[in-house]
Amino acid sequence: MNTPTTGRCTLVGAGPGDPELLTLKAVKAIASATVILVDDLVNDDVLEHASPTARIVHVGKRGGCKSTPQAFIDKLMITAVQEGEQVVRLKGGDPFIFGRGGEEVEHLRAAGIDVEVVNGITSGLAGMSSLGAPLTHREHAHGVVFVTGHAKPGDGGTDWAQLAATARQARLTLVIYMGVSSLEHIRGGLLQGLPAHTPVAIVQHASLPQQREALTTLGEVVNTISREGLQSPSIIVVGDVVQGARARDAQAQTAQKAA
């Protein structure tokens, strides 16, 4: 008599895009999955680690585009686990940083399903690392705040003026996700607590070959994004740590002139 297979679910962070930034634990989870539910921002190259027999279901969720309803994704995961499948919910970046991982864990646990979470490198960290700059620095930033620029419908969203005042007083770096479409509003609030000359970095498609970036100031950030044609998915980093990226950029320009 065959023993019924016990299903399980793992939320896996696929990282910012570069498949080489996957953790070993993520690779093992993907390889052992029989069903993989894949977010829209996950690089297809990551799926090369999947078993040839795995069923891959694309459940895209991207701001401004038609998205798979979250309730449908939750139902897919629960049903597959109950049918004995080894389910991996593959999410861009880290599942617990603006990936709705917390909501999915709650729904799975409510259905009596244990969940494992495998962290991934978030784009806010990868983007700044690609510019050769940190998010914290003993002389420039004592901490970092990850914040979304995309409020839940019906939610008033972040008090940007208050956040800016706190960031200035506590010397914090602000890393803004999903903020391009509402950047003018965000900038207006931040300027109430931070000076216009505060350094800003924008990184689109962090860690991927098509990555693009721009260095600017808080006062000029809206004009910079428009001029450079930067779009989502981008992260916006506000704070003095961006000076590290500026220094590297200046050094590269000097080397190029000397060559």
Residue 108 burial (CB < 10 Å; 0-12/13-18/19+)?
buried
Which tokens in the block code for residue 195? 């000076």
User: By the 8 A CB rule, do 116 and 11 touch?
Assistant: yes
User: CA-to-CA distance for 48 and 35, rounded, in angstroms?
Assistant: 14
Which DSSP category does 42 fall into? Answer: S
Please list the residues that pair with 237 across neighbouring strands. 175, 201
Q: Are 50 and 56 within 8 A, CB to CB? A: yes
Contacts of 154 (CB under 8 A, 6+ apart): none
Three-class DSSP category at 151? coil
Question: Which residues on neighbouring strands pair with residue 118, listed in sequence order?
Answer: 12
80's tokens: 């597959």
Q: Catalytic amino acids?
A: 39, 61, 178
